[in-house]
Structure 1
Amino acid sequence: MIEHHIPISIDISLNRKNQGGSETIRRLGFGVNITMNQHKTIELEEGWDFMQRGITKLKRILEGLPESQFSSEEYMMLYTTIYNMCTQKPPHDYSQQLYEKYKEAFEEYINSTVLPSLREKHDEFMLRELVKRWANHKVLVRWLSRFFHYLDRYFIARRSLPALNEVGLACFRDLVYEELKDKVRDAVIALIDQEREGEQIDRALLKNVLDIFVEIGMGQMIYYENDFEDDMLKDSAAYYSRKASNWIVEDSCPDYMLKKVQNELLVVYSTQLLDKEHSGCRVLLRDDKVEDLSRMYRLFHKIPKGLEPVANIFKQHVTAEGTALVQQAEDAASNKAENALGSQEQVFVRKVIELHDKYMAYVNDCFANHTLFHKALKEAFEVFCNKNVSGFSSAELLASFCDNILKKGGSEKLSDEAIEDTLDKVVKLLAYISDKDLYRRILQLSRRLLFDKSANDDHERIILSKLKQQCGGQFTSKMEGMVTDLTLARENQTHFEEYLENNSNANPGIDLTVTVLTTGFWPTYKSSDLSLPAEMVKCVEVFKEFYQTKTKHRKLTWMYSLGTCNINGKFEPKTIELMVGTYQAAALLLFNASDRLSYSEIKTQLNLADDDLVRLLQSLSCAKYKILNKEPHSKTVSPNDYFEFNPKFTDRMRRIRIPLPPVDERKKVVEDVDKDRRYAIDASIVRIMKSRKVLGHQQLVMECVEQLSRMFKPDFKAIKKRIEDLITRDYLERDKENPNLFRYLA
């Protein structure tokens, strides 16, 4: 069977010139504009002869005979011929005649070609021929319906006649199906009996034939039920009745009764029982019929492979419910600002947790903790847990949800037990997510620890413990290092304060707290050569001297972008304590020595990049708290601006926090994750090749995917790119005779 694919979704506008002038025909639902000039009437015989040639060509293609494919021009001419013959003025409007000839074309082909080929074959060979002829017939119907499309849109619609597709399929049903249905049914039942006796049969063929019984009803099951199912059930009863005479002799009474009941009541009707419209497995799941589901499990558990269809329905049901939650969250988030994780996403994660709790209980209680149902639940959750919601991945949503629970002032007001239970459930969901490394990156543990936003250190340790148990020690090693760093940093601060007390010359002049971190554990932070004010320079020097008393083998790199300062702003109304970042503090302290500074003067004195300078000046002069006055007045900062201290500033609070404008950290996180993945793929490839020495491309890719799948799902193209990079860096080489074979270079 050959099917040709011609692009038919094109818009056509036809211009027809008649004696009375030019008439524009309405646009049909089809992408190119084609103008046809028609000067003469097409008679029925002439037009049909032309159509016959096209139909004959199509039949030859279906029969596998030598024939060229349809060109778009041929298709358009056939379509246009029908169109013209249907739009000519009476008595030359041949719509009715063409509708009849459409049906005759099928009848002629079936009687001359299809039926003879089927009548000469029997049993399984006849079934194979029937499947082939039915598939070809559907292709023929589809193509002829395209040629005669104008009839469907106007002539048939106006007269409420059966559609072209329906007419074409009805011809096969009336001429082929009605003649052969009894033979087909008997041949199918014979195959089923053969399988019952332990013989191997072609199940795909069986399915394709049964599909014909269904499809021939055009949406109704009446043909399947009347012409096949009733007889199949009677034959099944008769078959097992015959087998019973052997079982009653060979088996004990209880064994016989068990077999008889299982086969007569379950095996024969298993599909029908599971799919019953008002009481089948899907309905029991939908209506939470826990006891009925437990009973269904106990019964189908006794049938060989009886649980597989039940588990499959369970998987489909859970997938559908989870996908519906994703859609609900999408709809709710569509009205919100972009690039913002809000309460609706928190609600989504909570609902996914509840869904998992519900169906995990089903697996444990209704389905006796069976591995088939654990597998079904896992595969269902993997489907929708890896979908994006409002542009955010599930890894981001879970990380944000955890951050909301663990940080100070989070919206989740839960007891310690409830927090631990919730974290446990989130970590279980993480098992279904492919981008675990992205979750780790954006868990925001570093921000909570650095800026003292963590509500409870114990909760931080709990989630790390659960993540380590779920994902392995490698997954949590950096995060555990962060927690250890903060503990050591607190001890270090105590030692620093003791050092200051014991060394009268070492006086920073202001209260100073320094947090020393280990580079490898923390995200990469932006560093700069900020020119600190004199007060801050002295603090840095004092701490350096202290640190050198502890170790001379470590280098301190100061991350001023992470620092915070509390400074007193002496305004005319009152003094207000300002909580600002180090960059902001450095800028404000410049105004102790100058009344008015230009943008370029501030930039020169601070030695900051433009993007950092614009952000800090924006926060101090254009945002909520206008500590500086800016000229000219505007909501944005430009290099031509001038700044002055605002002595009249006041606020009802004695202490205010002045935040910097937010930056898109998400982009940086994604870039960092991509970089980490490149390193991970490189390491995996080298590790594999070092142990194997020589390996084929396909096997290397598969082993690499297997190694990395616990953290993320590597892209095949990315692996190929990393292999090429390692070749250029002389870690690997291609075999000279086989380019798909790689060798490790020590």
Structure 2
Amino acid sequence: MDAGVARLKRILHGVDGVSFTSQEYIHLYTTIFNMCTQKPPYDYSEQLYERYKQALEDYIKSTVLPALKSKHGEFLLRELVERWKNHKVMVRWLTRFFHYLDRYYVSRKALKPLKLLGVSCFYDLVFNGLKTTLTTILLDMIDNEREGQLIDRALVKDVIDIYLEIGQGGVDLYEPDFEQAFCKATTDYYSKKAQTWMLEDSCPQYMLKAEDCLQKEKERVAHYLHSSTEEKLLEGTMLELISKRAEEILNKENSGCRVLLLDGKSEDLSRMYRLFAKIEAGMSHVSKTFKEHVREEGMSLLKHAADAANGAKNERKETVGSPEQEFVRKVIELHDKHLAYVINCFQNNLIFHKALKAAFEDFCDKDVAGCTSAESLASFCDSILRKGGSEKLSAEVVEDTLDKVVTILTFISDKDLFVEFHRKKLGKRLLFDKSANNVHEQNLLSKLKQYFGGHFTLKMEGMVNDVTTARDNQANFEEYMRKQQESNHRVDLTVTVLTTGNWPSYKTSNINLPSEMIKCVEMFKDYYNSKQKSRRLTWIYSMGNCNIVAKFDAKPIELIVTTYQAAMLLLFNGSERLSYSEIVTQLNMPDDDAVRLLHSLSCAKYKILNKVPSNQTISPKDVFEINHKFTDKMRRIKVPLPPTDEKKKVVEDVNKDRRFSIDASIVRIMKSRKVMVHQQLVAECVEQLSRMFRPDIKIIKRRIEDLISREYLERDLETANTYRYLA
């Protein structure tokens, strides 16, 4: 057997061939087999086991250790790799020779298997004494590689493999003897680098270096480290480069997150998202900064709009429309810009959608120079949908803009106020034929219905249907007139029949119409009663328009006026001069309406009437007459009425509807619960109503008191702050 071991040593040193012959192998195997299978005292199994161990130890002490002792640095690593390779060859051949011993004696005595015994010998005599030195050398090489130097990666991998092979393929040796020191050295390295980079580099440059480092560490694992190291390695690297400096990176002066958002640095923002997504609460940090930035941008828009409304210097020379409408336009642009960040840079992450929504809710509910956001949105829609507002825009642009308006509407709390303002403006567009495109009107209603439900658009859909029906009705009326042989009548009459409840409330008054108008009204009444015997017409003259031809000295001019203005002008067909009191008496008109109408005809842009005395104030002592010398370069002019502030009326109507909604919500909740504590009732009421508006807690309390007085509810006499439902 000693001869076999000696031959094996010579083979490892390249002296005596490359391997054993078959005869040599069979001879050695047979010898050992015979020594292990004889009966005591001629069974040499125990002695052979010890001799196997002794042979390995002798070889290591006589050959391996002296060779390693004279080597340092990378040369030590190369020598170790070579000696380990030889040792594995020796163990493999010896375990073949001693296979019978390993198979029966070792297993029967529960001894360490021969292969494992061979590894243990190398560990005890060689590796255990060198492992600290080896780890130090490896760490130095890896640090050099991080600094840009080329190293022998194959050599590093071979040495790392020794850690793993001695550990029988596991990481029990690798982790404590190498990985722990390696991870600590990594965090120390990147801690120093991060401090330097934060001082020297901008935020984008720092993140670029951080991402590059992370990628290189992943490559490092792939090339020569165990796969289990990757998670720990990247975690430590992220801790030093990103986690510990998250706020500092995001808020870095002149290059932080807000600057990147302002400058549209999509690539850098995407990199920021990728990096911060890997750390705990990273998304929270970035989304918080994102939300604060968007909110500040929105508040800046508010300030600019307020300055423009107050007559301050307007920095936007291209501004079109009122400051409120321009504000809505800028809000839409702001949302488009930052929604693109959410989708393209922040990978459509829900937390950023929520941050964007919260930021817009913060400033979209604020008034713009005394104009509520609901009114501003309604005015913006009106500017898009009315004639003259969207002719220059393609159908696709209009639809896209309306989509964005609906999105902005989701951010405001007073959606019911928007509905009422929009309904008012929709009514004027429909009644005065000012709508640019009925398809756009219908599409907007469809979008609103989709987002907020059918109750949101029910009345407005009814308004559109009324106008559509009215067109058919008008054709039938004209046919009726032809059959009645009234075609020679000098007045063309168009009537729009509205459904009570769908439309906003309009001012009505029973003024005395001129005979020409009375005849028109009576004709339509006869027609309508022949078709609808069960319905009663209520005439709203305040919403009517008339085209009349006035003959002045210079030329006849067609005047486009309201029904009230027309009735007033027609009085002068029978009288050259009329006093204020005569006009009011003949028309049976309230004073406030008379003052507005007379002002529009005698004191405004078009002075159809002459007033005595000739000042700008209408008084009961004034006298009026036709201005025969009136002329204009146009042959057709519209005589406008002074504008009226409808905002107060709209708000009053909405507040009234809100009281009904709160009552209905309270009763609905109490009917299902029967008994409820005050705080819980208020909370559920707020939750139910918040889809349309944000109810005032004080108003809810008042409505509860009112319902108690009307015996819908009662207070529980035994439990404080508790209500009972009365069936």
Residue pair 1:506, 1:542 contacting (<8 A) in 2 also: no
**In the alignment, which residue of structure 1 is the partner of 2:411?**
432
Partner secondary structure for residue 501 of structure 2: helix
Within the alignment, does 1:670 sit opposite 2:651 as a pair? yes
Specify which of 611, 616, 622 is matched with residue 603 of structure 2. Answer: 622
Within 5 A, what are the aligned runs for 1:597-612?
597-612=578-593
Partner residue in 2 for 1:48: none
CA contact (8 A) 1:508 1:538 kept: no
Which amino acid is the alignment partner of residue 258 of structure 1? Answer: L
The 1:663/1:271 distance shift into structure 2, 3 A limit, reads closer
Would you say the 8 A contact 1:508–1:539 is kept in 2?
A: no
Take 1:249 and 1:721, find their aligned partners in 2: how far apart are those partners?
Answer: 72
Alignment match of 2:257 (pick from 278, 281, 284): 281
Choose from 297, 316, 333 the match for 1:321.
Answer: 297
- CA displacement 1:85-125 (0-9 Å, x = unmatched): xxxxxxxxxxxxxxxxxxxxxxxxxxxxxxxxxxxxxxxxx
Q: Distance in 1 between matches of 2:265 and 2:312?
A: 38
Do the aligned residues in 1 keep the contact of 2:390 with 2:436 (CA within 8 Å)? no
Of the candidates 239, 258, 272, which is equivalent to residue 234 of structure 2?
A: 258
TM-score, scaled to structure 1:
0.64
Q: Return closer, same or farther for 1:558/1:315 CA change in 2, 3 Å cut-off.
A: same
Q: Secondary structure at the match of 1:644?
A: strand
The one-letter code sitting in structure 2 at the alignment partner of 1:631 is: V
Matches within 5 A, 1:198-277: 252-277=228-253
TM-aligned CA deviation for residue 645 of structure 1: 2.3
* Equivalent in 497, 500, 503 of residue 516 of structure 1: 497
Distance, in Å, in 1 between the alignment partners of 2:456 and 2:410 is 13
Note the C-alpha offset of 1:358: 0.9
Question: Residue type of the partner of 1:433?
Answer: I
2:693 to 712, 721, 725: 712
Correspondence 1:558 to 2:534: no
Counterpart CA distance in 2 for 1:490 and 1:471 is 30
Which ranges in structure 1 are unaligned for 5 or more consecutive residues? 1-247
Partner of 2:288: 312
Q: Which runs of 4+ in 1 moved over 6 A?
A: 248-251, 505-508
Q: Distance in 2 between matches of 1:457 and 1:629?
A: 42
**Alignment partner for residue 340 of structure 2, among 361, 377, 385?**
361
8 Å Cα contact 2:713-2:724 kept in structure 1: yes
Question: 2:549 is matched by which residue type in structure 1?
Answer: N
Instruction: Give the secondary-structure state (helix, strand or coil) at the position aligned to 1:517.
Output: coil
- Superposition pairs of residues 644-683 of structure 1, within 5 angstroms: 644-683=625-664
Q: Does 1:458 align with 2:434?
A: no
Match of 1:375 in 2: 354
Aligned to 1:536: 517
Match of 1:691 among 672, 675, 688: 672
Note closer, same or farther for the CA distance 1:319–1:412 as it changes in structure 2 (3 Å cut).
farther
CA deviation string 1:582-610 (max 9, x = no partner): 11111111122222222111111111110
Inter-partner Cα distance in structure 2 for 1:326 and 1:736: 51
The answer for the alignment partner of 2:388 in structure 1 is 409
Unmatched segments (≥5 aa) in structure 2? 1-223, 314-319
User: Equivalents in 2 of 1:656, 1:249: separation in Å?
Assistant: 88
Where do residues 319-358 of structure 1 align in structure 2 (5 Å cutoff)?
Answer: 319-335=295-311, 342-358=321-337
CA pair 289-576 structure 1, distance change in 2 beyond 3 A: closer
Closer, same or farther in 2 for the Cα pair 1:452/1:359, shift >3 Å? same
Q: Which amino acid is the alignment partner of residue 414 of structure 2?
A: D
Asked if the contact 2:332/2:408 (under 8 Å) is kept, the reply is: yes
Tell me by how many angstroms 1:541 deviates.
Answer: 1.4
Q: Which residue of 2 aligns with 1:727?
A: 708
What is the distance in 2 between the residues matched to 1:336 and 1:502? Answer: 63
Give runs of aligned pairs for residues 289-304 of structure 1, distance below 5 A: 289-304=265-280
1:477 aligned partner, one-letter code: L
585, 591, 598: which is aligned to 2:572? 591
Query: C-alpha separation between the residues in 2 aligned to 1:700 and 1:495?
Result: 54
- Percentage identity across paired residues of the two chains: 65
**Separation of aligned partners in 2, 1:292 and 1:574:** 70
Report the CA distance shift for 1:645/1:690 in structure 2 as closer, same or farther (over 3 A).
same
Distance 1:591 1:336 in 2: 47
* 8 Å contact kept, 2:572–2:625: yes
Measure the CA separation in 2 of the matches of 1:573 and 1:272.
79
> Normalising by the residue count of structure 2, what TM-score does the alignment of the two structures yield?
0.65
- Cα distance 1:412–1:393, how it changes in 2: closer, same or farther (>3 A)? farther
CA contact (8 A) 2:542 2:562 kept: yes
C-alpha deviation, 1:336, in angstroms: 7.2
Alpha carbons 1:507, 1:542 under 8 Å: kept: no
Q: 2:246–2:285: 8 Å Cα contact kept in structure 1? A: no
Deviations for 1:358-408, whole angstroms, at most 9, x for unmatched residues? 110111111111111111111111111112221112222221111111111
Instruction: Find the residue that maps to 2:724 and give its secondary structure.
Output: strand
| SS of the residue 2:242 aligns to | helix
CA distance in 2, matches of 1:255, 1:731: 64
User: C-alpha separation between the residues in 2 aligned to 1:666 and 1:496?
Assistant: 36
Task: Determine helix, strand or coil for the equivalent of 2:288.
Answer: helix
* Structure number with bigger Rg: 2
CA distance in 1, matches of 2:568, 2:482: 31
- Provide the residue aligned with 1:25 in structure 2: none
The residue that corresponds to 1:385 in the other structure is 364
The amino acid that maps onto 2:305 is: A
The Cα shift of 1:502 comes to 2.2
Contact 1:404 1:412 in 2 (8 A): no
Given that 2:390 and 2:398 are in contact with CA atoms closer than 8 Å, whether structure 1 keeps it comes out as no
8 Å contact from structure 1 (residues 404, 410) kept in 2: yes
Counterpart contact for 1:436–1:712, Cα < 8 Å: yes
Q: Which moved more, 1:587-596 or 1:708-717?
A: 587-596
C-alpha separation between the residues in 1 aligned to 2:626 and 2:349? 72
Give the deviation of 1:507 after TM superposition.
Answer: 8.0
RMSD: 2.3
Partners in 1 of 2:309 and 2:604 — Cα distance? 27
1:486-501 equivalence runs, <5 A: 486-501=467-482
Distance 1:596 1:326, change over 3 A: same
